[in-house]
Amino acid sequence: MRGRRSQHSEADMRLVIFDIDGTLVPSPSSEARFARYLWQIRALGPRQLLAFAWFTLRYLPRFGKHVMQKNKAYLSGHDYGYIVDTARRFVADVLVPTLHAPAVERLKAHQAAGDTVVLLSGTPQFLADALGEALGVEFCVGAACSTESGRFTSAPPRRHPYGPTKIDAAETLASQARLPLAEAVAFGDSINDAYLFRVVGEAVAVAPDRKLSAEAAGAGWEVLDRHAKA
């Protein structure tokens, strides 16, 4: 993993972890926006819609309330390269203009300071990569959607960083960066990000939901309002 080294010494550098949905990207989520974009360009048809519905019915007993976050079946049958290219256009043309400016400014400030900035999200990897490319973030971890022979399938994702599983991904990132997770900074918006917040050195709740707002008040975590001046 490469990181910028402009102002800090090696001892001062920190790992800085940014969530995407609700943190950098205001609601609705990047994935929901992308699915809508695919519909608008007529890249979603009966095959994808039926696969999406079948996934929900089949995996509801297994995933419960998280079944929709796990459901990537709307991609089924599409060529991997086509989706990657489409995601890059979508992020540049649709997503970037909507980004939460105060959070982006904080991200840019950490980059300028020489910290190792990463994106860690449950959004598909191709969306995380495209957003990382747009923001100059070199390392991104998202959901690894299932593929076979270069095409997406309707199977559950092979990796899905969400809630407590983000800790495992963050530990791997910290190990690769050779930076202690206990001194890292994490930005998130949801109570699901509180798992990660509890194991880093500094937590920033970005326009937090009600439960995270209450926990942030009790823990003394910084709160960055969506309309705050950068």
- From first to last of its 230 residues, the chain has per-residue pLDDT tens of 333 333 444 557 999 999 999 999 999 999 999 999 999 999 999 999 999 999 999 999 999 999 999 999 999 999 999 999 999 999 999 999 999 999 999 999 999 999 999 999 999 999 999 999 999 998 999 999 999 999 999 999 999 998 899 999 999 999 999 999 999 999 999 999 999 999 999 999 999 999 999 999 999 999 998 665 54
Alpha-carbon gap, residue 188 to 203, rounded angstroms: 8
- Exposed, middle or buried, 61 (CB in 10 Å: 0-12/13-18/19+)? exposed
Q: Are 184 and 197 in contact (CB under 8 A)?
A: no
Element (H, E) at 36: helix 30-40
Let me know if residue 10 belongs to a domain: no
Let me know if residue 229 belongs to a domain: no
Let me know if residue 9 belongs to a domain: no
Element (H, E) at 218: helix 210-219
Its pTM stands at 0.91
SS3 assignment for 50-111: HHHHHHHHHHHHHHHHHHHHHCCHHHCCCEHHHHHHHHHHHHHHHHHHHCCHHHHHHHHHHH
The number of domains in the chain is: 1
Domain region containing 126: 15-224
Let me know if residue 7 belongs to a domain: no
Residue 30's domain is classified under what CATH number? Answer: 3.40.50.1000
